[in-house]
Structure 1
Amino acid sequence: MTSTALKPHQKELWGHPIGLYILFFTEMWERFSYYGMRAILVIYMIAKASDENGPGLGWTKVEALQLYGWYVMLVYVISIPGGIIADKMLGQKKTVLLGALILVAGHGTLAIDAPWAFFTGLILIILGVGCLKPNISTMVGGLYRKGDIRRDKGFSIFYIGINLGSLLATSLIGLVVAEWGWHAGFGMAGVAMLFGLLVYLYGQKYIVHVGNKPTLQEKEEDVSLVKIFYKLFSSPFQLGVFIILLGLSIYAGFTFDGVDHWGYGALFIFLSFVVGMLMMIYKSLESQVQKDRFLVLLLSFFIVIVFWGAFEQAGGLMSIYTETKTDRMLFGYLIPTPMFQGLNAGFILLFAVWVANIWAKRKLKGKEASSLFKMAVGTIIMGLGFVFMIFAVRDYDAHGKSAMIWLVLAYFFHTIGELSSSPVSLSFITKLAPVKYASLMMGVYFAATGLGGKVAGILGEKSAVFGDYAIFAGITIFTVAFGLLVISILKPLKRLTHGAEDDEHEMHGENEGFELAEN
Structure 2
Amino acid sequence: MSSDAPVGARPPAGKTFFGHPRALSTLFLTEMWERFSFYGMRAILVLYLTAAVADGGLDLGESSANAVYGTYNAMVYLMALPGGWVADRLIGARRSVLWGGVVIAAGHYVMAIPTGWSVFAGMALIVLGTGLLKPNISTMVGDLYERDSPRRDAGFSIFYMGINLGAFIAPLITGFLGEKINWHLGFGAAAVGMTFGVLQYVLGRRNLGDAGARPADPLLGADRRRALTRIGAASVVVLAALLVLLVAGWFTVTTVVNLLTVVTVLVTVGYFARILTDREISGTERSRMKAYVWLFVFAASFWLIYDQAGSVLNIFAADQTDRSVGGFTFPASWLQSVNPILIIIGAPLAAALWLKLGHRVSTPTKFAVGLVLNGLSFVLMAAAARAAVGGDLVSPLWLVAVYAIQVAGELSLSPVGLSATTKLAPVKYASQMLGLWFLATAVGDAIGGQVARLADRWSQPVYFLTFGLASVVLGLAAVMFTRQIRRLMAGIH
Q: Is TM > 0.5 for Structure 1 vs Structure 2?
A: yes
Structure 2 counterpart of 1:487, which letter?
A: V
User: What is the distance in 2 between the residues matched to 1:170 and 1:176?
Assistant: 9
- Equivalent position SS for 2:384: helix
User: What is the distance in 1 between the residues matched to 2:178 and 2:31?
Assistant: 23
Choose the corresponding residue for 1:21, options 25, 49, 53: 25
User: What is the distance in 2 between the residues matched to 1:205 and 1:290?
Assistant: 33
Cross-structure match for 2:260: 263
Cross-structure match for 2:344: 349
CA contact (8 A) 1:463 1:470 kept: no
Cross-structure match for 2:374: 382
2:487 matches 1:486 = no
Equivalences for residues 267-278 of structure 1 within 5 A: 267=264, 269-278=266-275
2:136 matches 1:135 = yes
Structure 1: stretches of 5+ with no match in the other structure: 1-8, 228-253, 502-519
Change (3 A) 1:406 1:153: closer
- Equivalent position SS for 2:54: coil
Equivalences for residues 332-481 of structure 1 within 5 A: 332-357=327-352, 369-398=361-390, 400-481=392-473
Scaled by the length of structure 1, what TM-score is found?
Answer: 0.78
Q: CA deviation at 1:73?
A: 0.6
CA contact (8 A) 1:388 1:407 kept: no
Scaled by the length of structure 2, what TM-score is found?
Answer: 0.82
Equivalences for residues 84-483 of structure 1 within 5 A: 84-142=85-143, 155-207=156-208, 209-214=210-215, 219=219, 258-260=254-256, 261-267=258-264, 269-281=266-278, 287=283, 291-357=286-352, 369-398=361-390, 400-483=392-475
1:121-168 deviation per Cα after TM superposition (whole angstroms, max 9, x unaligned): 000000111111112233345567999998776655443222111111
1:329-363 deviation per Cα after TM superposition (whole angstroms, max 9, x unaligned): 23332121121111111111112233455566667
User: What is the distance in 1 between the residues matched to 2:404 and 2:94?
Assistant: 36
User: What is the distance in 2 between the residues matched to 1:355 and 1:327?
Assistant: 32
CA contact (8 A) 1:303 1:375 kept: yes
Change (3 A) 1:17 1:363: closer
CA contact (8 A) 2:87 2:431 kept: no
RMSD value, Cα: 3.3
1:285-327 deviation per Cα after TM superposition (whole angstroms, max 9, x unaligned): 654x655443322111110110011111111111111111111
Q: CA deviation at 1:179?
A: 3.8
Structure 1 counterpart of 2:403, which letter?
A: Y
Q: Larger Rg: 1 or 2?
A: 1
Structure 1 counterpart of 2:421, which letter?
A: I
CA contact (8 A) 2:369 2:409 kept: yes
Structure 2: stretches of 5+ with no match in the other structure: 1-11, 228-249
Give identity over the alignment, percent: 37
User: What is the distance in 2 between the residues matched to 1:421 and 1:87?
Assistant: 26
Change (3 A) 1:146 1:487: closer
User: What is the distance in 2 between the residues matched to 1:401 and 1:218?
Assistant: 57
User: What is the distance in 1 between the residues matched to 2:307 and 2:484?
Assistant: 30
1:223-243 deviation per Cα after TM superposition (whole angstroms, max 9, x unaligned): 99x99xxxxxxxxxxxxxxxx
Q: RCO greater where, 1 or 2, for CA within 8 Å and sep 6 or more?
A: 2
User: What is the distance in 1 between the residues matched to 2:281 and 2:485?
Assistant: 19
CA contact (8 A) 1:10 1:17 kept: yes
Structure 2 counterpart of 1:76, which letter?
A: Y
User: What is the distance in 2 between the residues matched to 1:355 and 1:315?
Assistant: 24
- Equivalent position SS for 1:338: helix
Cross-structure match for 1:504: none
Cross-structure match for 1:246: none
User: What is the distance in 2 between the residues matched to 1:400 and 1:218?
Assistant: 60
Change (3 A) 1:153 1:62: closer
Structure 2 counterpart of 1:414, which letter?
A: Q
Q: CA deviation at 1:25?
A: 2.4
Cross-structure match for 1:42: 46
